[in-house]
Each structure stands twice: as C-alpha cells, then as structure tokens.
Amino acid sequence: MDYKELLKKLSESYGVSGHERGIYDLLKKEFGPISDEVKEDNFGNLIFKKKGTKGKYKVMLAAHLDEIGLMVKDIDEKGFIKFTTVGGVDQRTLPSQEVIVHGRKDLLGVIGSKPPHLLSSEDMEKAIKIEDMYVDVGLPKKEVEELVKIGDIITIKRDFKELLNDYVSGKALDDRAGIVVMAVCLDELKKLYHYHDVYAVATLQEEVGVRGATTSAYNVEPDIAIAIDVTHGKARGVSLEIELGKGPAIGKGPNMHPAVYKGLVETAKNYNINYQVEPLPGPSGTDAWAIQVSREGVPTGLVSIPLRYMHTSVETANMKDVISSGKLLAYYIANLPEELGGHLCY
C-alpha cells in the first residue's frame, strides 16, 4: 500500500463533522484487503476488524475521520454567503481561502472581506472577525438561494503537497494521518502472529465532542484501546518539544493507563523505533478521553503524530512519523501476551 498516496486521497476528501459519509467508499476500498470484517455501527463509525489467533480479548484502535469546516448561516441581499464554524477553525487563516460550498451542487467560492484600503488604522491591527467575512461564489442572490440552503457545509479547497525530506502538507491531516496509521498497523499485522482481535475504528464527530469514540467504545467493549491523533509539533516561535521526524509521541498522564504507556515505550525501544514522550496532565482532548471512561473503564493509550499549524489548511506532518506510529502499534499488539490480566497491572 502506498501510504503517502492514501493520505493524499484522504486529505483531499471532504468530511466535516456530521458529514463524513463521502469518505466511506474510499476507506472501505483501502481497508477491505487488510481487514477480515468491515462494519458500520448505528452512529456511522466504520469498524475494521483484524482477527487474532485466539480472539479472547479485543484491542481497539481509534482515529477520527471528521475534519473541521464551515456551515452556511445566511445569504445576504447581494448573494454573499455568511457562515459559521464547525469545530475549532482558526479564523485568522480564513480570509482569501478557496472553498467549496456543498449545496445542491458543489460551488467553488472564495472567502472575502473588506479590503485593507477601507479599514481604519485601528482595525488594521486586528484579526478580521468571522462575522465580517463572506463566501463569494459569483452568483446573484436568487441563483445562490436555488443552490444553497442554510446549514449546508463549506470546506476549504486545498491540494495535498509533498515537501522536502518526507514532509507533507494539506488540510485535515488532523486526523486523516491517524487513519493512515491504522492502515499501516493492519498492513503490518498481516505479517505478524497476534493473539487478540483488533478493531480499527474510524470515529466520527471527534472535533465536536468525541462522539464517535463514545459510541464505538461502548459497542466494541475493548479490553485495551489506543487512540491515534495529532499533537502540536515544534515550530518557529512555539515552545514545544515534540519534533516532526523524530517519531510518534506517546502520551503520559491520567488519561492514559500506565501499563499501556509502559508497553508502548518498551515496544519502541525493543524495535528501535524513535519515540517521544508527551506529558498530558489533564484531559488529552482526543478520542482517548471518551474511550477511557466507557462502560466500567478501558485501559487506554495515546499515540500522536507531531503536526504543525493544527486546524489550518496547511497542516504539516512527516511521513516517517506516520509509518513508524503504525509499526509501533502493530508490534505492540503482536507482543501482547495471550492472557492480558498480568500485563495490565500497574
């Protein structure tokens, strides 16, 4: 499997929270050959099962499929589309973006605002407010209203780019890169002997409240779970120690079970996989938060891909981190003992 090409396809696909179904066919096509079973639960989460040799215990992997985006709020008298956000969009980056309005048919548009020549000196020093932006699709109000309705979704139009030294850039790498990590893991597990059934779940609506993780964890009832997401990578002017190209970040804190953390670190050391430790003293803000407290509680871990410029259309990651994250998970699963009781002791 060409993992970079898969990430490109996922990045350039559209699936704002609550509207992820457009990516289902792609995922089923790519994950079908590396899964034993494919199912969709009542919420819409896609679950890819890889059977173990025993099948007594369940290991759940979770990476969210949804992306942040915009939603049509109003159409003014001149046909300009007013909008609001779905999820934590960085509003500072919106002016001048190309977008697609997903109405009765897809309409290409641009996000405009009052030009700087007409701003006061005071307003020039401020970020443009979202209520002062609009989408221009080049049509009069009557024609816009025939094609676009209140509540329609708007997505940023951005091509996936290959940069130097295995770096890539695009929209929705949070968390489509995590989906690719699950593909790497399942692909690698085809070559390995593992006792336990693996449930790789593409969860929905993480960006608006980890909802898919909540429902899928209740459904799967895992004995161990590992969430896969992105984390803030070191960048110019950012005092963070997680670096791109230096391997996955393994979360450590109250949201993560100590035995799962220990097992991931030991696996990385045993297989010479570069890794970083991410201290998380509170809620991780990922699917791990919902999974950990599902039913009577689930021993949960978190593996994160270092990412720059999160929640913008130019998110940047390194493919080495994506692939090594998937291999780390595969080797961890393959080395889980037949009986998990002792493994999960503090």
Which residues lie closer than 8 Å to 14 by C-beta, 6 or more apart?
A: 22, 23, 67, 69, 100, 102, 153, 155
Chain CA centroid to CA 103, Å? 24
Residue-level pLDDT at 128: 82
184-225, pLDDT tens digit by residue?
Answer: 999 999 999 999 999 999 999 999 999 999 999 999 999 999
Active site (annotated) includes residue 206: yes
Report H helices in 120-273: 121-124, 141-147, 173-189, 211-220, 258-270
For every residue of 273-305, DSSP letters joined together read ---EEEE--S--SSHHHHHHTSTT---EEEEEE
The pLDDT-based confidence of 113 (bands split at 50, 70, 90) is: confident
C-alpha to C-alpha distance for 61 and 185, rounded to whole angstroms: 10
Residue-level pLDDT at 173: 98
What are the structural domain ranges in the chain? 3-67+171-334, 69-156
Chain CA centroid to CA 211, Å? 13
Four-residue CA torsion sign, 159, 162, 164, 166: positive
Of 175, 276, 287, 273, nearest in space to 234 by CA: 276
Residue-level pLDDT at 129: 86
Region class of 63: left (phi > 0), else alpha (psi between -120 and 50), else beta: beta
62-111, pLDDT tens digit by residue?
Answer: 999 999 999 999 999 999 999 999 999 999 999 999 999 999 999 999 99
250-283, pLDDT tens digit by residue?
Answer: 999 999 999 999 999 999 999 999 999 999 998 8
* pTM for the whole structure: 0.95
Whether the pLDDT of residue 118 is over 60: the answer is no
Pairing, β 161-162 against β 167-170: antiparallel
Main-chain phi, psi angles of 184, to 5 degrees: -60, -45
CATH code of domain 3-67+171-334: 3.40.630.10
Of 154, 209, 167, nearest in space to 315 by CA: 167
Whether the pLDDT of residue 123 is over 80: the answer is no
227-242, pLDDT tens digit by residue?
Answer: 999 999 988 776 678 9
CATH topology classification for 69-156: Elongation Factor Tu (Ef-tu); domain 3 (2.40.30)
* Catalytic residue of the set 206, 207, 278, 315: 206
The pLDDT-based confidence of 117 (bands split at 50, 70, 90) is: low
